[in-house]
Homo-oligomer: A and B are copies of this chain.
Amino acid sequence: MHSDPVAALDIGGTKIAGALVDDRGRVLLRAQRPTRAREDGETVMGAVAEVLTELTRSPQWSDVRTLGIGSAGPVDAIRGSVSPVNVPGWRDFPLVDRVRDIVGGLTVELIGDGVAIAAAEHWQGAARGHDNALCMVVSTGVGGGLVLNGKLHPGPTGNSGHIGHISVDLDGDLCPCGGRGCVERIASGPNIARRALDSGWEPGADGDASAAGVAASARAGDPLALASFDRAARALAAGIAATATLVEVDIVVIGGGVAKSGEVLLDPLRRHLKEYATLSFVQDLTVAAAQMGTDAGLVGAAAAVFGSAVTKAPAGAA
């Protein structure tokens, strides 16, 4: 298959990135602005417009027919709107219409950022060749996306794979989402750090009180730091096992800042997975580190467009 490049947008709480991506997943051109997430919705949209305008000035723009958006969620792919938790100025914000106003007659597709990551890892990364995969990000939050039967599974509204907000502790602490004992409430970076501090852990000489600081202490054998990572790993294991038991994925790919802690997280995660992934058809679940870098969201938004174009093309068009 050879196709024209597509445009991709990656909307996060920190940055808004745009790119032109070719059908082999190569980023041909990149533009980026800070999100200014604490400002009003129009200011945030202004950053999107700047990124898009920069892309449209490229000579390759004339070949672009479709634009994929991966956005912090929840998103609503049916209405084309987004309500990113970390961008309070956008609630049911009609992002697809507003983007169309700028780029003219392009086909625009919207998916959640976890779904985009899964699309990227399935296309180019650690989930390549796996027909059923869960791809996750463990970072400030915990997110994910699913590949089922060899295809991305965005779900009707583009939000499938939201593993961060499934409860693995039905009597657990309240989560900002309104739930209790969500995976994110136990396993995100800020919660790893908070739990360590609450248990009496003290940062090292560099004063780093973040999850990275806890990871450094854990690597040095500090029992309180190890305990906080162990708890996060247990919650992730229960959530991953639940996902595999529900939809039969055979690989889980884990990326994000906290996952960069490496074996401090992955070793107890693999151990706890044996406790929760007990049925015969989930016992051989593989845990792999993400391979896509910071461009994962952009490449994934492009992958979703390419995948969908292939799926929707009339017979003989491929």
Instruction: Name A residues whose Cβ lies closer than 8 Å to a Cβ of B.
Output: 74, 76, 83, 131-132, 146, 148-149, 153, 155-157, 159-163, 165-171, 175, 177-181, 234-235, 238, 241-243, 245-248, 250, 275-276, 278-281
Q: Is the CB of B275 within 8 A of A180?
A: yes
Given the interface contacts A177-B278, A179-B278, A280-B83, does A169 sit within 8 Å of B170 by beta carbon?
A: yes
Which of B178, B246, B279 is in CB contact (< 8 Å) with A146? B246
Q: For the complex, give the distance between the alpha carbons of A168 and B276 in Å.
A: 11
Q: Please, which residues of chain B bring their CB within 8 A of the CB of A168?
A: 167-170
CA–CA, A282 and B45, complex, Å: 27
* A279 in contact with B165 given A170-B238, A235-B170, A248-B159 (CB within 8 Å): yes
How far is A162 from B243 in the complex, measured between Cα atoms in Å? 10
Known A-B contacts A169-B170, A247-B247; A162 and B279 likewise in contact (beta carbons under 8 Å): yes
| A246 touching B245 in the complex, CB below 8 Å, given contacts A235-B170, A281-B157 | no
Chain B residue nearest to A280 (CB atoms) is: B74
Q: Smallest CB-CB separation from A166: which chain B residue?
A: B242
* Chain multiplicity (copies): 2
Complex Cα distance, B191 from A121, in Å, reads 41
- Quick check: A246 and B248 within 8 Å, CB to CB? no
| A interface: dominant SS | loop
Residue of B nearest to A237 (CB): B170
Q: List chain B residues, Cβ under 8 A from A276.
A: 167, 170, 179-180
- The verdict on A169 contacting B166 (CB below 8 Å), with A246-B243, A279-B159 known, is no
Among candidates B160, B246, B250, residue contacting A162 with C-beta atoms closer than 8 Å: B246
Distance, CA A238 to CA B248, complexed state (A): 19
14 additional A-B residue pairs with CB within 8 Å, beyond A76-B281, A157-B281, A170-B181? A74-B279, A74-B281, A132-B156, A148-B148, A153-B247, A157-B248, A165-B245, A166-B246, A169-B171, A179-B241, A179-B275, A243-B246, A246-B246, A246-B247
Contacts of A242 in B (CB 8 A): 166-167, 242, 246
CB neighbours of A177 from chain B (8 A): 278-279
A283 to chain B, nearest CB (A): 10
Closest approach, in angstroms, between the C-beta of A182 and any C-beta of chain B?
9
**Cβ–Cβ < 8 Å partners of A280 in chain B:** 74, 76, 83
Q: Would A246 and B169 count as touching, CB distance under 8 A?
A: no
25 A–B pairs (Cβ distance < 8 Å), ordered by A = A74-B281, A131-B156, A132-B155, A155-B248, A155-B281, A157-B281, A160-B248, A162-B246, A163-B245, A166-B241, A166-B246, A167-B168, A167-B241, A167-B242, A170-B235, A170-B276, A175-B278, A177-B279, A178-B275, A178-B278, A180-B275, A242-B246, A246-B246, A246-B247, A247-B247
Give bound CA distance, A264 to B245, whole Å: 28
Q: What residues of B have a CB within 8 angstroms of the CB of A156 in the complex?
A: 131-132, 248, 250
User: A76 to chain B: which residues have CB within 8 Å?
Assistant: 280-281
Q: How far is the CB of A33 from chain B (nearest CB, A)?
A: 26
